[in-house]
Amino acid sequence: MQKNIPVLMVSGTALAEAYEKALIELYKDGIRFKTQYDRPGDPLSIDSTMNITILEPCTDPMIHRAFPGGIDDLKEYVMELMGLKDHWIKNINDPEDTRWEYTYHGRLARYGAWQELVNGKSSQAGFFCIDQIKFVIEKLCKQPYTRQAQMITWMPNLDLDCFDPPCLQSLWYRIVEDEDGVWWLNSNVRFRSNDAWGASFMNMFGFIQFNKNVIAAGISEKVGKKVELGRLNWHADSYHIYGKDIANAKQLLFDRIDAVSFEDRIFNFNDDFIAEMYNGAEVGILEKMKQYDRDHER
């Protein structure tokens, strides 16, 4: 009789390697589980508690071809983590508002705030509003060895009764200084629930870019030192493949491992044609955001 959810651990030098190892380990040793999102006839999901360590987050190969999206989707997600979609939040007391209940960036940059209606118009409200990003950067600048540089997303007053509460729970940072005086930003990221096939690659890629371009860059600007990314430890309480996605995952990855070389399963993020696609996607994404705003103007 199986009574325990397996706790699985993998490690890889770069993101694409670690991501693939995690999926294979989950497929091999995960437990079968129901979910509250199953449709009639869906197979059971494959689930585990997963710990993934990416030793060199900015090293290629970063991009695995077996993720359900394109390079433009990666760019849009990174822009979202930088705050692009923070204004998409619904009015908390408007039952007809179907916009998002939160964004990760909103919870990190304005923890405690939410949208409400005031005299028929949307207004930011809350008992308090804390810019956790600012405080984490300042704390690490003053004490790079601190164990208190943490950000959280969970707001019990909203999330205990939220239809789709945040999967991301916390980010924790600490800096190691090497013999050349370079600061290496180490981080732990915890998700309560992480869709291994449908979302986890994009999540990990996105927070690598967030750590590099927001946290590390913010520290470097303030202290005048070189700040690089050290290891990223990714912990998911539930790391799962939904039953509806298992056949697709088998076709695109698990059944191809022995037939297709690793080099043909990945892209290098820093290759010119990938970088051009990634950077060139921004114009179209911004135009899509403008159209969305026009369509959903309230």
Q: What tens digit of pLDDT does each residue of 59-83 get?
A: 999 999 999 899 999 999 999 999 9
Question: What is the H or E stretch that residue 128 is in?
Answer: strand 121-130
Average pLDDT over residues 120-141: 85
pLDDT of residue 128: 78
Q: 184 or 292: whose pLDDT is higher?
A: 184
pLDDT of residue 122: 62
Give CA–CA dist 74/90, Å, rounded.
24
The pair of three-digit structure tokens given for residue 108, joined into one six-digit string? 């990190």
The pair of three-digit structure tokens given for residue 155, joined into one six-digit string? 């707001």
The pair of three-digit structure tokens given for residue 153, joined into one six-digit string? 């997303």
pLDDT of residue 207: 98
User: Is 2 a member of any domain?
Assistant: no
Residue with tokens 């040793």: 29
Please state whether 36 falls in left (phi above 0), alpha (psi between -120 and 50) or beta: alpha
pLDDT of residue 215: 98
pLDDT of residue 95: 81
Q: Which domain holds residue 116?
A: 7-295
Give CA–CA dist 171/188, Å, rounded.
6
Q: Is it the case that residue 117 has pLDDT exceeding 80?
A: no
Give CA–CA dist 33/246, Å, rounded.
13
Closest of 35, 161, 152 to residue 101, by C-alpha? 161
Q: Work out the number of other CB atoms within 10 angstroms of the CB of residue 96.
A: 7
Q: Is it the case that residue 162 has pLDDT exceeding 70?
A: yes
Give CA–CA dist 5/24, Å, rounded.
17
Residue with tokens 């039953």: 243
pLDDT of residue 125: 74
User: Considering only 57-61, 88-92, 277-281, which range has the smallest mean pLDDT?
Assistant: 88-92
Q: Is it the case that residue 123 has pLDDT exceeding 90?
A: no
Domain tally for the chain? 1
User: Is 1 a member of any domain?
Assistant: no
Q: 212 or 298: whose pLDDT is higher?
A: 212
pLDDT of residue 120: 55
Residue with tokens 């956790």: 132
Q: pLDDT digit string (tens) for 253-265?
A: 999 999 999 999 9
pLDDT of residue 273: 94
Give CA–CA dist 150/189, Å, rounded.
10
Mean pLDDT, the chain, integer: 94
Express as a percent the part of the chain with pLDDT over 70. Answer: 96
Q: pLDDT digit string (tens) for 215-261?
A: 999 999 999 999 999 999 999 999 999 999 999 999 999 999 999 99
pLDDT of residue 90: 84
Q: How many CA atoms lie within 13 A of 146 on its CB side?
A: 15
Q: Contact, 71 vs 276, CB < 8 A? A: no
pLDDT confidence band for 91 (50 / 70 / 90): confident
Strand pairing category for 63-64 and 121-130: unpaired
Q: Work out the number of other CB atoms within 10 angstroms of the CB of residue 41.
A: 7
**For residues 147-179, b (16+ Cβ closer than 10 Å) or e, as one string?**
eebbbbbbbeebeeeeeebbbbbebbbbbeeee
pLDDT of residue 294: 86
Closest of 150, 165, 155, 146 to residue 100, by C-alpha? 165
Q: 125 or 197: whose pLDDT is higher?
A: 197
CATH number, domain with residue 156: 3.30.572.10
Closest of 79, 45, 9, 8 to residue 242, by C-alpha? 45
Average pLDDT over residues 37-58: 96
Closest of 158, 75, 89, 84 to residue 296, by C-alpha? 89
